[in-house]
Structure 1
Amino acid sequence: MKAAEAAPGASGFGWRAFLGLQIKAAAFGIILLLLIGLSVAIPTPEGPLTRLDWLFLAAFGIQLGLILGGWETRGEALTILVFHLAGTAMEIFKVSQGSWLYPDRGVFSLWGAPLFTGFMYAAVGSYLARFWRLADWRLERAPPLWAIWSLGAAAYLNFFAHHFLPDIRIPLFLLTLLAFGRTILTLDWGHGRRRIPFLLPFTAAAGLVWLAENFATAAGIWLYPHQIRVWRMVPLSKFGSWFLLLLLTFALVAALRFLEDRRRT
């Protein structure tokens, strides 16, 4: 993956164009947050379906529409599906361990985990995959794909294993810094190519997901044990958790891009 030179004559950072690109990349996640907000304002119709069931049906329809409308490529849809399944598996396990709970479990659920939650993980995968494509990401001094995959897999497995074995998130943070500390990301949103440290937008994305999690818990979609009686902010430690989960997302998207590049050659 090689970087291109900055476009001649490019002037200004282009904040409006950059914001527009971010909105396009995060469209599915933004829609989910809007649906969650509406679910608080609009009472759930009487019947067997709970609020999370209606959110699941709405999210499924929107995701299908984005794929059929060409908003997401087939490769991106496959990556999102894998991330959806990985997220749902983790939800089932975490709920069984009492890490958090769902006040409205709903009909569309598996072993205590509402299927809607998989779409929230899928939204993260959707954002990264679309941001990569729309901004034409290129990486300088990136670690090899096997190292990226190893970090992503270790981060994911640690979400399960730390309930029984020592938590290795600190070593994972250090290994991520070692692997990506020199990596430069170049991207373009219509104002010439820009070069930024890879870990900068990566960390910012984890922070935005942490803020979205605060919004979702305040809306009562799920609750951590310390939020059951009175809502309080999600602990900052969850910011680190999302950072590590983004490693898995990046590994999946990097594999997609690698396969697509091989297909073109």
Structure 2
Amino acid sequence: MTFVRKLLLFGWLEALSCIFPVIIFLTLALTKVVGIPGLPRYDLILIICLLAQVGMVLFKLETIDELKVICMFHVIGLALEIFKVHMGSWSYPEEGWIKVFGVPLYSGFMYASVASYICQSWRRFDLHITGWPRTIFAVALSTGIYLNFFTHHFIGDYRWVLIGLLLIVFIRTWVHFTISGTIYRMPLTLAFLLIGFFIWIAENISTFLGAWRYPDQEHVWRLVHLGKISSWFLLVVITIIIVAQLKHVKSGDKAVKQVNHIKY
């Protein structure tokens, strides 16, 4: 029975950590069937996302430090969106007043929601990481992954090389999380993959609700290609590395530390 209670608690904490992503999904679903006359759907989504973000801070569901990280990922995501739309990887076909180079500003919140989940999970599960690689390797790898999203249009896609390097660099890295006083752990690379897989599921829901469209979804919705899991896997890597490094700097090596003499 203890296992069942902890499993339910785990699910509840995960749900709380997903508040912002859930708000975005509900907004996409709601605006699909309900609109405000004279206000384009993309702009309505942006307004709701902004209000949700303010509300989360006011109701202390999110800290100011977490908001700073989320804003940074909004900018990172928006830059990637602008480039990808320009290259024809996907599109935002609906009208919108607040678009930057054909990309609605709300799109950055979809990347920010991933950062929101990571930050809230870190706090709610009291995450600690052991075996963290040297900063130069972590930063270089995350930079290479982000640049590959751009450069693969010109010099080839090296994601599998990057994934191979990732497995080598993080081979001894474990993430430790606490549920009801008991500490569990898993390889950090497995955490990358699991989160990436669930984001892929969320992506299918998002495209079905018209958040954006891939070229093969212009006329009829299709399941997003399984290969996209690797893209989300790599995006999660960037997110966790940045969050971990920021926590490492802010807490003086308390967030990324060696955990000894713990019973699992």
Determine the structure 2 residue equivalent to 1:251: 241
1:130 & 1:26 partners in 2: Cα distance?
8
Offset at 1:152? Answer: 1.2
- After superposition, where does 1:46-125 map in structure 2 within 5 Å? 46-47=37-38, 49-125=39-115
Offset at 1:191? Answer: 4.4
Deviates more, 1:100-109 or 1:116-125: 100-109
Deviates more, 1:66-75 or 1:163-172: 66-75
Give CA deviations for 1:232-258 in whole Å, capped at 9, x if unaligned.
011111111111111111122012211
Choose from 202, 210, 217 the match for 2:200: 210
Deviates more, 1:14-23 or 1:252-261: 252-261
- After superposition, where does 1:128-139 map in structure 2 within 5 Å? 128-139=118-129
Is 1:28 the equivalent of 2:24?
Answer: no
Identity %: 37
TM-score normalized by the length of structure 1 = 0.91
Amino acid at match of 2:71: L
Aligned residues: 254
- Name stretches of at least 5 consecutive residues in structure 1 with no aligned partner: 1-10
SS in 1 for 2:91: coil
Instruction: Say what the alpha-carbon RMSD is for the aligned residues.
Output: 1.8
Offset at 1:12? Answer: 2.5
TM-score normalized by the length of structure 2 = 0.91
- Relative distance call for 1:79 and 1:64 in structure 2 (3 A) is same
Determine the structure 2 residue equivalent to 1:262: 252
Offset at 1:263? Answer: 9.1
Amino acid at match of 1:45: I
Give CA deviations for 1:90-141 in whole Å, capped at 9, x if unaligned.
1111111110011214111101010010011000000011111111111121
Aligned partners of 1:105 and 1:113 also within 8 Å: no
- After superposition, where does 1:142-221 map in structure 2 within 5 Å? 142-221=132-211
Choose from 36, 39, 53 the match for 1:45: 36
Offset at 1:45? Answer: 2.2
Aligned partners of 1:103 and 1:220 also within 8 Å: no
- Name stretches of at least 5 consecutive residues in structure 2 with no aligned partner: 255-264
2:104 & 2:242 partners in 1: Cα distance?
23
1:144 & 1:70 partners in 2: Cα distance?
34
Amino acid at match of 2:20: F
Offset at 1:175? Answer: 0.8
Give CA deviations for 1:138-178 in whole Å, capped at 9, x if unaligned.
11212123222211111111111111112110111101111
Higher relative contact order, chain-length normalized (CA < 8 Å, sep 6+): 1
Give CA deviations for 1:221-241 in whole Å, capped at 9, x if unaligned.
210001111110111111111
Amino acid at match of 1:26: C
1:144 & 1:133 partners in 2: Cα distance?
23
Aligned partners of 2:28 and 2:210 also within 8 Å: no
Aligned partners of 1:21 and 1:189 also within 8 Å: no
Determine the structure 2 residue equivalent to 1:3: none
Choose from 18, 43, 56 the match for 2:10: 18
- Relative distance call for 1:263 and 1:173 in structure 2 (3 A) is closer
Offset at 1:182? Answer: 2.4
